[in-house]
């Protein structure tokens, strides 16, 4: 492969990411523009290797070429050139998809529950868009590993995997506790026996969600007050392990999250 071809393939793959970064407020738009212009220049220099057929005959493309290069003619591509063209196109599309996915992730809503400040933060990417305080956690405190009946709130990273809008706590956003990481740590620490850990894994593979009847407990989530006393909520951690907010706050929260929303409790 010639040096020119190496440069063409590399720049064709990089250009879309430059455009995407510019579209999503990249702090270095000038670099993106330079990459794109360099790519266009190399494509013009190597147009016979990249293009054939009707596109060469379009007025828009012919305006980009010198007069001696704009005549209609058939372009014959070798197998190597076709493979290189297909590879560069595939890499280009993959980079575009990756850039779009990263941009989408940067706009995702996620929740952070801070036990120390009794606060629930709502973020979109890195920007805080809502804050609820005070929130109530379990009467047993916040712990990485908790046993059923301990009334402790588990810490770690979770996802919302079920939503009950007709709960006795008004609205209930269920979490995927105990996660695989919690179960593995509990097994390593001896809290989960070998047969119990095997049963956990079997259930998880079969249902795509953790069982709720292990020694680690279950039915952990974020919910409203329902008919509970708001004055108690303001002064105490009163739940059996969940995170509680007011009814108005859980209604607002339910409009911001969806199944799969990340929740971090620390």
Q: pLDDT: is 57 or 117 the higher one?
A: 117
189-246 confidence digits (pLDDT tens): 999 999 999 999 999 999 999 999 999 999 999 999 999 999 999 999 999 999 999 9
**Total domain count for the chain?**
2
**pLDDT greater than 50 at residue 258:** yes
Question: For the chain, what is the mean pLDDT?
Answer: 80
Q: What's the CA gap between 197 and 188, in Å, rounded?
A: 10
CB 84 within 8 A of CB 9: yes
**pLDDT greater than 60 at residue 123:** yes
151 and 30 within one domain: no
253 and 121 within one domain: yes
**For residue 26, what pLDDT is reported?**
43
**pLDDT greater than 90 at residue 60:** no
Structure tokens belonging to residue 100: 């779009």
223 and 121 within one domain: yes
223 and 140 within one domain: yes
Quick one: average pLDDT of 118-130? 97
Q: pLDDT: is 206 or 28 the higher one?
A: 206
55 and 28 within one domain: yes
138-174 confidence digits (pLDDT tens): 999 999 999 999 999 999 999 999 999 999 999 999 9
Is residue 191 included in any domain, yes or no?
Answer: no
**For residue 22, what pLDDT is reported?**
42
**For residue 80, what pLDDT is reported?**
63
**Cβ contacts of residue 105 below 8 Å, gap of 6+?**
125
- The reply to whether the predicted model has a pTM over 0.85 is no
Is residue 194 included in any domain, yes or no?
Answer: no
In percent, the amount of the chain with pLDDT more than 70 equals: 61
| Confidence class for position 19, pLDDT limits 50, 70, 90 | very low
137 and 68 within one domain: no
User: Which one of 58, 82, 106 terminates a domain?
Assistant: 106
User: Which one of 76, 106, 136 terminates a domain?
Assistant: 106
Q: What's the CA gap between 230 and 128, in Å, rounded?
A: 25
Q: pLDDT: is 102 or 93 the higher one?
A: 93
242 and 155 within one domain: yes
Is residue 146 included in any domain, yes or no?
Answer: yes
83 and 113 within one domain: no
User: Which one of 73, 106, 139 terminates a domain?
Assistant: 106
User: For the domain that residue 151 is a member of, what is the CATH number?
Assistant: 2.40.440.10
**For residue 196, what pLDDT is reported?**
97
Catalytic one among 13, 233, 237, 242?
Answer: 242
Q: Which residue has the tokens 């079969």?
A: 206
Q: How many CB atoms lie within 10 A of CB 198?
A: 12
Give yes or no: 242 in active site. yes
146 and 253 within one domain: yes
Domain span at residue 49 reads 3-106
Helices 3-23, 79-106: axis angle to 10 degrees equals 20
| Residues 42-48: contacts with CB under 8 Å, at least 24 apart | 42/4, 42/7, 42/8, 42/11, 43/8, 43/12, 45/4, 46/4, 46/5, 46/8, 48/75
**Cβ contacts of residue 40 below 8 Å, gap of 6+?**
64
**Cβ contacts of residue 218 below 8 Å, gap of 6+?**
148, 177, 178, 210, 211, 212
Quick one: average pLDDT of 235-260? 97
Burial of residue 96 (number of CB atoms within 10 Å: 0-12, 13-18, 19+)? middle
Catalytic one among 182, 223, 233, 237?
Answer: 223
Is residue 231 included in any domain, yes or no?
Answer: yes
Is residue 205 included in any domain, yes or no?
Answer: no
Quick one: average pLDDT of 83-93? 67
Give yes or no: 223 in active site. yes
Is residue 30 included in any domain, yes or no?
Answer: yes
Is residue 188 included in any domain, yes or no?
Answer: no
**pLDDT greater than 80 at residue 38:** no
247 and 136 within one domain: yes
**Cβ contacts of residue 110 below 8 Å, gap of 6+?**
122, 123, 261, 262, 263, 264
Alpha carbon of residue 130 to chain centroid: 19
Is residue 151 included in any domain, yes or no?
Answer: yes
159 and 93 within one domain: no
Q: What's the CA gap between 198 and 215, in Å, rounded?
A: 13
115 and 61 within one domain: no
């Amino acid at each position: 492969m010639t040096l020119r071809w190496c440069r063409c393939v590399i720049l064709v793959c990089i250009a879309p990411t430059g455009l995407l970064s510019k579209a999503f407020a990249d702090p270095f738009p000038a670099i993106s523009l330079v990459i794109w212009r360099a790519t266009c220049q190399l494509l013009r220099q190597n147009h016979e290797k990249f293009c054939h057929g009707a596109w060469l005959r379009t007025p828009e493309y012919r305006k980009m070429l010198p007069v001696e290069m704009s005549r209609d003619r058939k372009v014959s591509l070798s197998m190597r050139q076709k493979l290189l063209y297909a590879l560069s196109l595939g890499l280009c599309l993959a980079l575009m998809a990756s850039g779009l996915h990263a941009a989408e992730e940067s706009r995702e809503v996620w929740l952070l529950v801070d036990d120390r400040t009794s606060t629930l933060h709502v973020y979109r990417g890195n920007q805080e868009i809502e804050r609820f305080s005070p929130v109530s956690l379990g009467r047993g405190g916040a712990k990485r590993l908790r046993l059923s009946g301990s009334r402790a709130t588990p810490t770690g990273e979770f996802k919302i995997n079920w939503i009950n809008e007709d709960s006795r706590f008004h609205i209930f956003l269920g979490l995927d506790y105990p996660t695989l990481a919690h179960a593995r740590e509990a097994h390593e620490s001896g809290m989960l026996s070998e047969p119990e850990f095997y049963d956990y894994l079997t259930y998880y593979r079969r249902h795509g969600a953790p069982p709720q009847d292990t020694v680690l407990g279950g039915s952990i989530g974020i919910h409203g007050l329902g008919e509970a006393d708001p004055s108690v909520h303001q002064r105490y951690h009163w739940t059996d392990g969940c995170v509680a907010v007011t009814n108005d706050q859980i209604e607002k929260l339910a409009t911001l999250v969806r199944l799969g929303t990340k929740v971090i409790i620390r």
